[in-house]
Every structure is written in C-alpha cells, then in structure tokens.
Structure 1
C-alpha cells in the first residue's frame, strides 16, 4: 500500500492540537533551514523542544540528545534528518509515546512510516510544517 499523507483538514487539526513539538536535527546555526522553521513555529506560539546532542540550548530552549532524554510528553516529532537515517527516530518516537511523526519536506521513508503507524502514530512525510501552518492557519504573526 502506497503511503498517503492525512488530508489538509486533518493536518490543520493536528497543528491546532500540537502541544510539545520535539524537533530532531534542529541546528543551532540560524542559517540552517531547521533553525529557521523551528524559530518561525516558535514565534507562532508552538512549544519547541530541540533534539541535538551537540548543543546545550537552541532558540532559548534546553536541548536534549535524544527523544528518550526529554522529560515530558511529546505530541509531535518533527524530523530534519536524511531519509535513510529516520528509522531509529521512528522507533524512538513510538517508544516515547508521541502522537504524530512528521518528516520535513524532502524526507520520506516507508519503513519509518510503517513503524510509526503500527505504534499508533499519525505520519506526515515530505511536507514542511512551517508551510502547512502558514497555509492552514493564516494568523499574520
């Protein structure tokens, strides 16, 4: 069965209900796309939790080395990693009890999607969370 993202209406609901968003691969370099996207989402009121083993703080938030190290519940895992590296992150997201596994634009992995779906997570792949939020929730912020 070929993967299909949720409907735009469902993605809008997911974003409306997103509490803590763990951003795996969030760079501390403001010139990197992951940093720009996470900063924009934070500016729009989303709670961002950086996952980067090489930094202490990003966007004013404490960084964690992995999803397992985050001491709170995670609603959404947003991934900025190469497609071939996301299977272990999917396994971590299931173990952590996240609700949604979101692979950024250009990132697609059927095995990771299957792992997450079997673990009860909704999956979105090859979509930019910032673009989706701007289109579906135009707040002018």
Structure 2
C-alpha cells in the first residue's frame, strides 16, 4: 500500500500535462545518469546538501563533491569548482545561493553535463534555463533530486 505522501507526490508531480512530461523526463534521466557533481555540498552531515549527497551515493551514483573549503566529503575527493573535475559528469546538482546560480550554470555548461539540477531554494532562473536548453542540456529547477529519485526510481524498483 502506498503512503499518503507517495499519493500526494504522484498527484502533485503529474497535476498538469507539463508537470507530467517533466516528471517522465526526470525519471528517464535519473535512470541513465551515473556521476553527479554536487556544488555546495556541505561537510556537515546534518545539512540538506550532505544528506542528499549521501542518499544519492547510497542509491549507487558516483558523487563528486564541489566545495572549495573541503578536501574530502562522503569519502570522495572534493574539488574547488566544476572545471577542476578530471572526469565526465552526467549531472550537476546545485545547492548554492540564488545569486551565484548564473555563474555555476555557466561553469556547468563548460563541462557539458546532461542535466543541471537547481535544488529547492535556489530560485527561478528562466534565463539560465533558456541558456541550458540552447546548449542541449536539461535544467531542472525547484525540485529535489533525492525526493524525485525516492519516489520515481526507488519505490518503482522495490516492486521488482
């Protein structure tokens, strides 16, 4: 039996044709990405960014921490910025102040991820969304990668 929250999530994320299409696209990307750079991930395990990173790591994704003030987070080498990462990044998950989002999106587009994900609290950025789309990159905003994974992938896979 599905929980009340699962039912709410399903109704909310598929409330309109546009949201339903976006949710289907997100599910497809979450199925196909392997490496996620998390910009602004905290060393503090009680912060949302750290919790989300740990959840995604436990779900099987390769997490690359991006935090200029850290050497290592979640047992992985941390990098000061996206351009310093020596491997291919499929997705960039962003946990930073809305003021810095344009700079991070520009940096992300230089490394050519499949998805740029602006977490809840990073604001609406229509110019950045358009810039990403023109570059052929999906930009998701105002959604949580952990929550979407939990309800679109994890719960689906439990039934297998």
Partner of 1:91: 106
1:43 has 2:69 as partner? no
Q: Does the 8 A contact of 1:24 with 1:51 survive in 2?
A: yes
1:133 to 110, 133, 149: 149
Q: Does the aligned pair in 2 maintain the 1:104–1:128 contact within 8 Å?
A: yes
Inter-partner Cα distance in structure 2 for 1:109 and 1:9: 21
Query: Quick check: which has more Rg, 1 or 2?
Result: 2
Contact 1:23 1:78 in 2 (8 A): yes
Give 3-state SS (helix, strand or coil) of 2:30's partner. helix
Give every structure 1 segment of 4 or more consecutive aligned residues whose post-TM-superposition deviation is greater than 6 Å: none
TM-score normalised per structure 1: 0.92
Gaps of 5+ in 1: none
CA distance in structure 2 between the aligned counterparts of 1:54 and 1:111, rounded to whole angstroms: 29
Unaligned segments of structure 2, at least 5 residues = 1-17
- Name which of structure 1's ranges 53-62 and 112-121 shifts more when overlaid on structure 2: 112-121
Q: Which structure has more helix as a fraction of its residues? A: 2
TM superposition score normalised by structure 2: 0.81
Secondary structure at the aligned position of 2:43 is classed as coil
> In 1, Cα distance between the equivalents of 2:126 and 2:62?
28
Structure 1 counterpart of 2:10: none
Match of 2:95? 80
Q: Matches of 1:99 and 1:11 in 2, distance apart?
A: 11
Bigger RCO (CA 8 Å, 6+ sep): 1
| Residues paired across the two proteins, number | 137
Give the aligned CA root-mean-square deviation in angstroms: 1.4
Partner of residue 69, structure 2: 54
Report deviation, 1:111: 2.1
Which residue is equivalent to 1:19?
A: 34
Structure 2 counterpart of 1:117: 133
Matched-pair contact (CA < 8 Å) for 1:90–1:113? no
Mean Cα deviation higher: 60-69 or 5-14? 5-14
What's the offset of the Cα at 1:99? 1.1
